[in-house]
Amino acid sequence: MARGNSYPFWTHDTVAAAVLAGVGAASFQIKLDALASELKIPVITACVHAWPMILIFAGVLMLLVQPVAGWGGRGEESKGDSGVGASKRF
Protein backbone atom coordinates (compact mmCIF):
# COMPACT_ATOMS: atom_id res chain seq x y z
CA MET A 1 0.00 0.00 0.00
CA ALA A 2 2.55 2.51 -1.17
CA ARG A 3 1.41 6.08 -1.37
CA GLY A 4 3.21 8.92 -3.09
CA ASN A 5 3.91 10.70 0.20
CA SER A 6 7.51 10.52 1.41
CA TYR A 7 6.67 11.64 4.95
CA PRO A 8 6.42 8.83 7.52
CA PHE A 9 3.93 10.69 9.74
CA TRP A 10 0.55 12.07 8.81
CA THR A 11 -0.93 15.30 10.11
CA HIS A 12 -3.34 13.53 12.46
CA ASP A 13 -0.41 11.60 13.98
CA THR A 14 1.32 14.86 14.78
CA VAL A 15 -1.83 16.38 16.25
CA ALA A 16 -2.46 13.26 18.35
CA ALA A 17 1.12 13.36 19.65
CA ALA A 18 0.78 17.06 20.54
CA VAL A 19 -2.50 16.44 22.39
CA LEU A 20 -1.01 13.48 24.24
CA ALA A 21 2.06 15.53 25.20
CA GLY A 22 -0.17 18.38 26.42
CA VAL A 23 -2.30 16.09 28.55
CA GLY A 24 0.79 14.42 29.97
CA ALA A 25 2.43 17.76 30.75
CA ALA A 26 -0.74 19.04 32.46
CA SER A 27 -0.98 15.88 34.56
CA PHE A 28 2.69 16.17 35.49
CA GLN A 29 2.21 19.84 36.42
CA ILE A 30 -0.66 18.97 38.75
CA LYS A 31 1.44 16.34 40.53
CA LEU A 32 4.38 18.72 40.82
CA ASP A 33 2.16 21.48 42.23
CA ALA A 34 0.88 19.09 44.89
CA LEU A 35 4.43 18.09 45.79
CA ALA A 36 5.60 21.71 45.95
CA SER A 37 2.70 22.70 48.20
CA GLU A 38 3.62 19.91 50.62
CA LEU A 39 7.31 20.82 50.75
CA LYS A 40 6.83 24.61 51.01
CA ILE A 41 10.38 25.34 49.85
CA PRO A 42 10.55 28.50 47.70
CA VAL A 43 13.26 27.18 45.35
CA ILE A 44 11.34 23.98 44.67
CA THR A 45 8.11 25.94 44.09
CA ALA A 46 9.87 28.24 41.61
CA CYS A 47 11.30 25.28 39.72
CA VAL A 48 7.89 23.58 39.64
CA HIS A 49 6.30 26.61 38.05
CA ALA A 50 9.15 27.11 35.58
CA TRP A 51 9.89 23.50 34.58
CA PRO A 52 8.66 23.83 30.98
CA MET A 53 11.01 26.77 30.38
CA ILE A 54 13.87 24.95 32.11
CA LEU A 55 13.24 21.90 29.92
CA ILE A 56 13.18 23.98 26.73
CA PHE A 57 16.37 25.80 27.76
CA ALA A 58 18.12 22.49 28.50
CA GLY A 59 17.08 21.12 25.10
CA VAL A 60 18.38 24.18 23.27
CA LEU A 61 21.65 23.93 25.18
CA MET A 62 22.01 20.28 24.22
CA LEU A 63 21.37 21.11 20.56
CA LEU A 64 23.96 23.88 20.58
CA VAL A 65 26.66 22.19 22.68
CA GLN A 66 26.69 18.85 20.87
CA PRO A 67 27.68 20.21 17.43
CA VAL A 68 30.36 22.43 18.98
CA ALA A 69 31.88 19.44 20.80
CA GLY A 70 31.98 17.49 17.52
CA TRP A 71 33.96 20.14 15.65
CA GLY A 72 37.30 19.35 17.32
CA GLY A 73 37.39 15.67 16.39
CA ARG A 74 36.89 16.07 12.64
CA GLY A 75 40.36 17.40 11.95
CA GLU A 76 42.01 14.49 13.71
CA GLU A 77 40.04 11.87 11.75
CA SER A 78 41.59 12.96 8.47
CA LYS A 79 45.18 12.48 9.77
CA GLY A 80 44.90 8.72 9.33
CA ASP A 81 45.36 7.62 12.93
CA SER A 82 45.18 3.83 13.15
CA GLY A 83 44.37 3.08 16.75
CA VAL A 84 42.04 0.62 18.36
CA GLY A 85 38.63 0.84 16.78
CA ALA A 86 39.84 2.92 13.85
CA SER A 87 38.09 2.14 10.62
CA LYS A 88 39.76 2.26 7.23
CA ARG A 89 37.94 4.21 4.60
CA PHE A 90 38.43 3.22 0.99
Write the pLDDT tens digit of every residue in 63-81: 888 777 666 655 555 455 5
According to the 3-state scheme, what is the secondary structure of the chain?
CCCCCCCCCCHHHHHHHHHHHHHHHHHHHHHHHHHHHHHCCHHHHHHHHHHHHHHHHHHHHHHHHHHHHHHHHHHHHCCCCCCCCCCCCC
Give the residue extent of every domain in the chain.
21-70
Over residues 10-31, mean pLDDT: 90
Least confident of 30-34, 43-47, 50-54, 64-68: 64-68
pLDDT of residue 81: 52
